Amino acid sequence: MFVDCTGMNTSFTADSWNFPKMKTAEGMFQGCSNVKQIRLYQVKWPACTNMNNIFKDCSNLRVFNFEFKTAPSAIADLSYAFDGCEKLERVWNLGSLTMTSCKNVDYMFKGCKALTEIKCNSDTD
């Protein structure tokens, strides 16, 4: 969807995206090297099973915030999701993902040299 969208600068917020039949978000933001913050707020992706490489090589991404309204219920693959996000410092609300069906989280945070905080709940203060 936004692969290699280097013109996407500073901050990106997806508010109330409703994709009830979307099965894959693979590589959705891959290579968006200038974005520093991504917030998925009140999104509905109930059928999504594949989120591998979703933020791969977003090299300037510093903060990512999940806030699903209807979370995917059967994510199977989150491999390499943040691979190459070398400036990523914080991931918030990871617990909003239902990961009971997840089979692959290989290298999910590979190369995230600055990562200091992962919050699983919605309390971001």
- Measured CA to CA, the distance from residue 111 to residue 105 in angstroms comes to 14
Residue 95 vs residues 53, 60, 92, 99, 115: alpha-carbon distances, Å: 19, 23, 8, 8, 17
Q: 95 pLDDT exceeds 60?
A: yes
Using one digit for the tens of pLDDT, what is the confidence trace for 37-59? 998 887 888 888 899 999 999 99
**27 pLDDT band (50/70/90 cuts)?**
very high
pLDDT at 125: 45
| Cβ atoms of 70 and 44 closer than 8 Å | yes
Section 94-108 average pLDDT: 82
Average pLDDT over residues 7-17: 78
What pLDDT is attached to residue 71? 66
Residue 124 has pLDDT above 50, yes or no: no
Cβ burial of 100 (10 Å; 0-12, 13-18, 19+) is exposed
| Confidence (pLDDT) at 70 | 65
pTM metric for this prediction: 0.85
For residues 38 and 125, give the distance between their C-alpha atoms in angstroms, rounded to a whole number: 17
> What letter would DSSP give residue 77?
B
Given pLDDT bands bounded at 50, 70 and 90, which one contains residue 122? low
Mean residue pLDDT across the chain: 86
Burial label, 19 (beta-carbon count in 10 A; 0-12, 13-18, 19+)? middle
